Structure 1
Amino acid sequence: MKKLLSTLATSLVLLFAANSSASAQKFGYVDSEFLMGKMPAYAQAQTELNTLSTNWQKEIEAQKKDLDKLYRTYQAEEVLLTEPMKKKRQDEILKKEQDIKTYQNKIFGYEGQLFKKRQELTKPVQDQVFEAIEKVAKKKQLAIVFDKSGDLTMLYTNPVHDYTEFVMEELGLATEDRNQTAQKGSVKTVATPKTPAAGDEADVDNEKGATAPASRTTRPAGRKN
């Protein structure tokens, strides 16, 4: 999420710097995390992602309980099994464990279903923020707009160059009740419990549901005239 938001600054730099002379550049910055945190659509997306993450995790935990039961049954009956029967049971346990890992990666892994769902739900909000920033940049004749919450390190920012509130106005969020400190919210971290393996207890690697960026807890500086 944060990586996607940081492209706001880069895109606007290329868009406006190309049409501005080096001697007359005017620049500003915005706080995209703060802006996203103020948008109801973003909060709704976070809620939906949390629900999906929780439900998928429950499915995985149910599968792991089945695996644990399968392994414990094998341990209890091992002394009564022939070598071919042991080998068959062990193969079943290993396959079950591999299937769980595969499903877990499919859901919570890089570019898994949770990742794709996050992009699907948040991209419209990101596009809306970008369009508002672009409009403000054109109205204020800004050659460059930086993202304070992006990857670009800003060691010092003069509030006179902060255009976050102008973007909030463009988004229709600059009301007395909305223009307050945003509440933090993120997708729940998904931690997976240990799972057994044939002949010994083995840990299934912990997989996490990606965390969406929390909104800023500081209000942007007072707007300019």
Structure 2
Amino acid sequence: MPEYKKAQEDMDKYSEKWVIDIQAKYSELEKMRQQFQQEEILLTADMKRERQKAIDDKEAEVKELNNKVFGLNGLLFLKKKEIMKSILDDIYKACEKVARQKQLMFIFDKASDMSMIYTDPRHDYTDYVMEALGISLKEDKNQNNQVTKPKK
């Protein structure tokens, strides 16, 4: 599904940018620590406390930023939710359409963490859902299960 691939690429770009930003902040923090260790013997007790407080504050700031971006309900999670919403809505509508046509009560997501020890292939409706999404599954000898949009 090209839309999913594009969304995943966008998410990777956002994630990479945030990782770079946070790594830069951790590098700054490490430089502050090294500089403090090098100059520690020359500093008065008050200066040591000030420097240590500055290092502690910087560390708290970086940890907070890391949590704000990558934590539960962080910026990355919210961005993914925003980007994936329309795709997931399309998938839901396609599943609903197939369920109504085939008079199904349930459609399970095989890609989820839910364990299924055995499933009868007769009850695999993946192709129908893909068709409802306008996606055809063609097997190419050089590539395994390449998904392409049908030509109009």
Q: Match for residue 150 of structure 2?
A: none
Q: TM-score, normalised by structure 2?
A: 0.86
Deviation, structure 1 residue 150: 3.1
Q: Match for residue 118 of structure 1?
A: 80
Offset from partner CA, 1:55-93 (integer Å, 9 cap, x none):
111111111121122112211211111111111111011
Larger helix proportion, structure 1 or 2?
2
> How far apart, in 1, do the equivalents of 2:76 and 2:32 lie?
29
Q: Which runs of 5+ in 2 are unaligned?
A: 148-152
Deviation, structure 1 residue 154: 1.9
Deviation, structure 1 residue 151: 4.3
User: Are 2:127 and 2:137, in contact at CA under 8 Å, matched by a contact in 1?
Assistant: no
| Change beyond 3 A, Cα 1:175–1:73 | closer
Q: Match for residue 73 of structure 1?
A: 35
Counterpart of 1:56 (choices 11, 15, 18) is 18
Deviation, structure 1 residue 175: 5.3
Bigger RCO of structures 1 and 2 (CA < 8 A, at least 6 apart): 1
CA RMSD across the alignment: 1.9
Amino acid at match of 1:181: N
The percent identity for this pair of structures is: 42
Matched, 1:156 2:115: no
> How far apart, in 2, do the equivalents of 1:157 and 1:98 lie?
49
Deviation, structure 1 residue 153: 2.6
Q: Match for residue 127 of structure 1?
A: 89
Deviation, structure 1 residue 173: 0.4
How many residues are aligned here? 144
Counterpart of 1:181 (choices 135, 142, 145) is 145
Q: TM-score, normalised by structure 1?
A: 0.59
Offset from partner CA, 1:31-57 (integer Å, 9 cap, x none):
xxxxxxxx1111111111111111111
Offset from partner CA, 1:137-181 (integer Å, 9 cap, x none):
111222333333334432211111111111111111025379x62
> How far apart, in 2, do the equivalents of 1:134 and 1:49 lie?
27
> How far apart, in 2, do the equivalents of 1:82 and 1:67 lie?
21
Q: Match for residue 67 of structure 2?
A: 105
Offset from partner CA, 1:180-200 (integer Å, 9 cap, x none):
6259xxxxxxxxxxxxxxxxx
User: Are 2:94 and 2:132, in contact at CA under 8 Å, matched by a contact in 1?
Assistant: yes
Q: Stretches of 4+ moved more than 4 A in 1?
A: none
> How far apart, in 2, do the equivalents of 1:68 and 1:143 lie?
57
